[in-house]
Chains A and B, each alone.
Chain A
C-alpha cells in the first residue's frame, strides 16, 4: 500500500517538475528575445463578447463579430464538448487574420466572466414546417440552466437573445436573470426588417440601406410591416401609392411582407437552417451596443404600457441602442390597424407565457 503511495508521489513530482521545466525551457528563448517592462497581471478584456451555443447560428454570429472586429475577447459556451473545442480551434487557427487576440471556450460558464455582451443562441431550432411558438417549453427548460450562470459571471452584461421564439424567450430571460429590462434585448425583427429592406430595395434597384422600412411586433408569422413609414430619400411610398400593403394594391407590395415571413421557412426547407443573415444582423446590433452608437434598431423590448398593451410582453419596436442597452423607444406613428396588430401579437404571446412553468 505504502509502495503504491510512493509511486504516486514520485510520478506527481516528476510531472510537476516536467511542466515547470517546460516553462523554464520556453523562457530561455523568451528571456533572450523579450524584456518585459511591466510585471503584473494582464489587463482584463474591455470588450468581451460571449456566444452561448455553437450551432450554425452561434458560429455565424461569432464569425461576423470577429470579422467586424467588435470584441477583444470572444468566449464560446455549449454542452457539446467536442464540437465546442473543434469550433474554438478552427477560429483560433484563423487568428492571424483577425483582431480578436483571445478566443476561448468551455462547458463551464466561468469562461464567460466579465462579458459586456452575451449572445444567447442555444436551444432547439425549428424543424421544417414547425412554427417558432412550438419550441417554447423545450427552450425555457434550457434557459433555466443557462441564464443564471450567465448573470453569475457577468452581472453587468447586456443579454442579446436570439433563440426562437425570440420574443417569448427574451421575456423568459428577463424573468430568470433579474436584470433590468433595458439590459435584456431580443434580436426580434432586426432580421425581418433587413429582409424586408433587401426585398423592397431589390424591386426598386437600390441598396437596402437606402430603403427605409420597419417591421415591428412579433418576430414571426404576425410581424407588422409599417407601410406608412416606408420611404426612400424621405419620399413616402404610401403617399405615392395609397393602397400599398393592402389587398387592393395592384402592385401587390403586400407580397413582399409575406415573403419576409416565409423567408426563414423557405431557407430552412432548402438548406436545413438559416445562419448567415441572422449572424450579420446580430453583429449589427452588437456594434451599436459595443460602440455606444445610439442607433435605432427594431429589437424586442418590454412594451407593456405602450400602444395600449397591458400584458407584460416583449415585442419589437424601434429602440435606441447604446452601451447601456436599450436607452429609449421611438414612438412611431402607427395606424389604428397596425396598433391593433401589435395588440394581437401581445395577446398571443401572453397566452403562451402565462402557462410557462417555473419562471
Chain B
C-alpha cells in the first residue's frame, strides 16, 4: 500500500463535481497576470486557467502561481497552449493581443488584434459555449464588437472592460482633490475607453450633493476649478504610466477583478462597461461603448438610461461614428 493509500481512504461513490466557478485568463502578459493575481487574492474562483501561445512563459507563470497555493483559496490553477484547459469556464477574460507602444493610440492596434481574436474567440466558444466573455485588449470597444461577432454569443454575454478603469482613475483624482476615499466620490466616465471618453459632469456627486450644482461651470472652459483638467489627466493617465514604467497593469488588473466579482457573485452592481449601444442616445451604428450597466451572473442584463446633455450625447454619437468608421473596414 502506498503512503497515500495508508493515509487516505476514498469514500465518495459519486464522480467529483467539476468546477462551478471557473475563470480563464487568455494572455499571460502584464495585464493578464495582474488580472489573475487580483482574482486569486479576492477568492473569486475555484479553478483558474491560463492560456497563451508562449509556452515557456505560460508554464513559468502557472508554476509561480501554484507555488503560492498555500496562501490562496483556489483549488486548481492550470495552464496550456491548448484551449481544452479552459473548458466549462464561467468567465473568460481576454487580454491577449498587441499593446500600445509609447505614444501610440489604442485605435492603431486594431487590425493586429482582430487577427489574433479570429484564432482565440472560436476556441473559447468551442470549450465554454455558455461563458461570459470579458474583453480587455485594446481598443476595447472595437474588440468587444469583434468578439461579439466572432463568438455568436447574445449581447449580454460579451462585455468590454471599457471605462470601468477610466471612471476609477477619475474617482481617484476627484478623491485627491476632496480629501476623501474614492469610493465616496461618485463620477461616471462613459463612451469610448480612450481619448474621446465622456465625463458626465451632471452626475458627479458626494453623498448625493451634485458638485455641478455647487459649481455650475464645472467641466467647462470658464471653470475656475479646472475640472476639465481632471478628465484630461484620466485620458493621459495610461500614456503617462506607459512612459514611466513601460506598460500599465495593476489598475486594470484590479478593475477586471472588480467586474469579475460582480459577475461571479451575481451582485447586480452598476458599472461602466462596454456594451452594444445601438439605439441609445441617438446612436444608430452597431457599436460598443461604455454606459452604466447592471452586472450579474447572467452577464450584462440591463443598462441605466442616463440623462445626458445634448453635447454629451453628441460626443457619444461622434465616438460611435469614429468606431464604426474603423469597424466597417475590418475583415471578420
A55-91 contact mask (Cβ, 8 Å, vs B): 1 or 0: 0000110011001100000000000001101110111
Choose among B68, B211, B224, B257 the residue that contacts A25 (Cβ–Cβ < 8 A): B224
Which B18-74 residues have a C-beta within 8 angstroms of A?
33-34, 37-38, 41-42, 56-57, 59-61, 63-72
Our pick among B215, B241, B258 for the contact of A86 (Cβ within 8 Å) is B241
Is B203's CB within 8 Å of the partner chain A? no
A137 at the interface (CB under 8 A from B): no
Bound together, the chains give a CA A227 to CA B172 distance in angstroms of 50
B165 touches A276 (CB 8 A): no
Cβ contact of B246, chosen from A67, A86, A279, cutoff 8 A: A86
Inter-chain contact B251/A93, CB cutoff 8 Å? yes
> When A90-B249, A198-B66, A270-B59 are in contact, do A63 and B37 touch as well, CB less than 8 Å?
yes
In this assembly, does B13 line the interface, its C-beta being within 8 Å of a C-beta of chain A?
no
Would you list which residues of chain B between 268 and 303 have a CB under 8 Å from chain A? none
Confirm or deny: A17 has a beta carbon within 8 angstroms of a beta carbon on chain B. no
Distance of A92 Cα from B209 Cα, bound (Å): 25
CB A25 to nearest CB in B, in angstroms, measures 5
Which residues of B sit under 8 angstroms from A92, Cβ to Cβ? 172
With beta carbons under 8 angstroms apart, the residue of A25, A266, A277 that contacts B65 is A277
Distance from A48 Cβ to chain B, minimum over Cβ atoms (Å):
17
> Which of A142-150, A178-186, A204-212, A322-330 touches B?
A204-212
With A86-B246, A96-B183: A32-B42 Cβ-Cβ less than 8 Å: no
**Are A271 and B56 within 8 A (Cβ)?**
yes
The docked-state distance in angstroms from the alpha carbon of A59 to that of B34 is 11
Q: How far is the CA of A203 from the CA of B243 in the complex (A)?
A: 45
With A25-B226, A204-B7, A240-B6 as given contacts, are A60 and B37 in contact (CB-CB < 8 Å)?
yes
> How long is the Cα–Cα vector from A25 to B119 in the complex, in angstroms?
53
* Contact yes or no, A263 B67, CB < 8 A: yes
Interface string of B193-210 (1 = CB under 8 A from A): 000000000000010010
Binds B, one of A166-174, A280-288, A334-342, A347-355: A280-288
Residues of B within 8 A of A284 (CB): 71
In contact, B245 and A83 (Cβ under 8 angstroms): yes
- Contact segment of A2-10, A156-164, A189-197, A216-224: A189-197
The answer to whether A280 touches B68 (Cβ under 8 A) is yes
Give A240-262 as 1s and 0s: 1 = Cβ < 8 Å from B's Cβ atoms. Answer: 11001000000101000000000
The interface residues of chain B, by DSSP majority, are classed as helix
- From A30, A68, A93, A241, give the contact of B172 (CB < 8 A): A93
Residue B168 at the chain A interface, CB threshold 8 Å = yes
Whether the pair A237, B3 counts as a contact (CB closer than 8 A) is: yes
Determine if A270 and B255 form an interchain contact, defined as CB atoms under 8 angstroms apart.
no
In the complex, what's the smallest C-beta–C-beta distance from B179 to chain A, in angstroms? 8
B304 at the interface (CB under 8 A from A): no
Q: Chain B residue with minimal CB distance to A238?
A: B3
Cα distance, A95 to B182, chains bound together (Å): 7
Beta-carbon contact of B42 and A67 below 8 Å:
yes
- When chains A and B are docked, how far (Å) is the Cα of A281 from the Cα of B38? 15
Interface string of B164-192 (1 = CB under 8 A from A): 01001101100101100111000000000
B82 within 8 A of A: no
The CA of A28 and the CA of B225, in the complex, are separated in Å by 9
Binding site of A, secondary structure by majority: helix, strand, loop or mixed? helix
Which residues of B (238-270) have their CB < 8 Å from a CB of A? 240-246, 248-251, 253-255, 257-258
Of chain A, the residue at the smallest CB distance from B178 is: A30
> Which residues on the A side are within 8 Å of B181 (C-beta)?
95, 101
- In the complex, which of the residues A89, A94, A268, A271 contacts B61, with contact meaning CB atoms closer than 8 Å? A271
How long is the Cα–Cα vector from A325 to B232 in the complex, in angstroms?
Answer: 46
A239–chain B nearest beta-carbon distance, Å: 9
Does B237 have its Cβ within 8 Å of any Cβ on chain A?
yes
Tell me, rounded to whole Å, the shortest Cβ–Cβ distance linking B55 to chain A: 9
A188 to B148, CA, bound (A): 49
Known: A29-B214, A33-B211, A277-B68. A97 touches B6 (CB 8 A): no
Q: Is the CB of B225 within 8 A of A29?
A: yes
Compute how far the CA of A60 lies from the CA of B2 in the bound complex, rounded to whole angstroms.
38
Q: Given A203-B4, A276-B65, are A93 and B70 neighbors across the interface (CB < 8 Å)?
A: no
A93 cross-chain contacts in B, Cβ below 8 A: 165, 168-169, 172, 237, 241, 248, 250-251
A206 to B68: give the CA distance in the assembly, Å: 15
* Cβ of B5 to closest chain A Cβ, rounded Å: 9
Cβ contacts under 8 Å, A293 to chain B:
none
Find chain B residues with CB under 8 A from A277 CB: 64-65, 67-68
Check A96 against B172 for contact (C-beta < 8 Å).
yes
* New A-B contacts (16) at CB < 8 Å, excluding given A29-B225, A101-B181: A26-B177, A29-B211, A34-B178, A59-B250, A82-B245, A86-B242, A90-B241, A93-B237, A94-B255, A204-B4, A240-B7, A251-B3, A263-B63, A271-B64, A274-B67, A277-B67
Which 7 interchain pairs have the tightest Cβ spacing?
A271-B60, A86-B244, A86-B245, A270-B60, A93-B251, A277-B67, A67-B41
- B contact set with A: CB distance below 8 Å: 2-4, 6-8, 33-34, 37-38, 41-42, 56-57, 59-61, 63-72, 75, 165, 168-169, 171-172, 175, 177-178, 181-183, 206, 209, 211, 214-215, 224-226, 237, 240-246, 248-251, 253-255, 257-258
**30 A-B Cβ contacts within 8 A?**
A32-B214, A63-B41, A63-B250, A63-B253, A64-B37, A68-B41, A85-B244, A85-B245, A86-B240, A86-B243, A87-B245, A89-B240, A91-B250, A93-B250, A94-B254, A95-B182, A97-B168, A97-B255, A194-B68, A203-B4, A204-B8, A207-B75, A240-B6, A244-B3, A251-B3, A267-B63, A267-B64, A272-B60, A276-B68, A283-B71
